[in-house]
Amino acid sequence: MLEHLNATAAAPTRVVILGAGGFVGGQAAARLEADGMSVLRLGRGELDLLADGAAEKLAGLLKPEDCLIVVSAMAPCKNAAMLADNMAMMSAVCAALEHSPVAHVIYISSDAVYSDSDGPLGEDSVTAPDNLHGIMHVARELMLKSVMGETPLAVLRPSLLYGLDDPHNGYGPNSFRRLAAKGEDITLFGEGEERRDHVLIDDVAEIIRLVVTHRSKGVLTVASGEVVSFKDMAEMVVAQFDEAVAIKGSPRKGPMPHKGYRPFDVSATGAAFPEFRYTLPAEGIARVHAEMTEAG
């Protein structure tokens, strides 16, 4: 749940984004800049959080009136070495904040922090993940909370992301679209029966903008609220193209992640931002296709 500290939405003096070179950080920066905000983009080229002296360098860049958005992560976290690197990165951020406190901090976490459940997941759901990626984000959330003091902290936990410029090309609408654009078959895991919630990156960027301008604190799950099977998602993607693209099943190796079903309760978003509406998958897929066509 979020609590707004600004009675009326207002832009901060400056927003600093750690991880501005990535998918979420870059989209958030562009959205904030489009709203006329002053944004300091810090990618790995500008600040390597694993380098010696990273905490001191970041502390020297931060100002008391800043809103700091922390997106930087080695993701998805797949092994012990990546977990250690992610902890070291957050340790540098925490050390910088202890030396140079700011006015507001936003951490981009993940829905991976939530334990599996038969019902919809939300802000009050159990956070005891059984995978390294979820464990990494839970630990980083706690690390930030331990050094915040009186500084308000907002933790955003988005579900699976999709959008035009996603660099990961993970299984789902992003890879389906790229295969269809090349006229190649889409091969599903099993029959694509697993149902998941995918959230459009534009919506994530807009939620970030709202949290920034309302100086919100607390926790918010960021998801569309609609679960769709991977087969249905592939069919939505293929329907955007004039040329036919085959969608094929394949033998599934191992059990389906999250038992094949992972819904979310997004009522907290409606309570926090009554005028905001998530983009549902069919509309989002069509929008991304139009953006791809326009971009050539």
Six token digits for residue 68: 């700091």
pTM of the model: 0.95
What is the tens place of the pLDDT at every residue in 30-63?
999 999 999 999 999 999 999 999 999 999 999 9
CATH 3.40.50.720 matches 2-162+199-225+263-279: yes
- pLDDT over 70 percentage in the chain: 100
Instruction: Kindly state the helix (H) or strand (E) to which residue 144 belongs, with its residue range.
Output: helix 132-147
3-state secondary structure of 56: helix
For the segment 247-251, the average pLDDT, to the nearest whole number, is 95
Question: Strands (DSSP E) along 159-233, which ranges?
Answer: 160-162, 186-187, 195-196, 198-200, 216-222, 228-229
- For the stretch 215-242, pLDDT in tens is 999 999 999 999 999 999 999 999 999 9
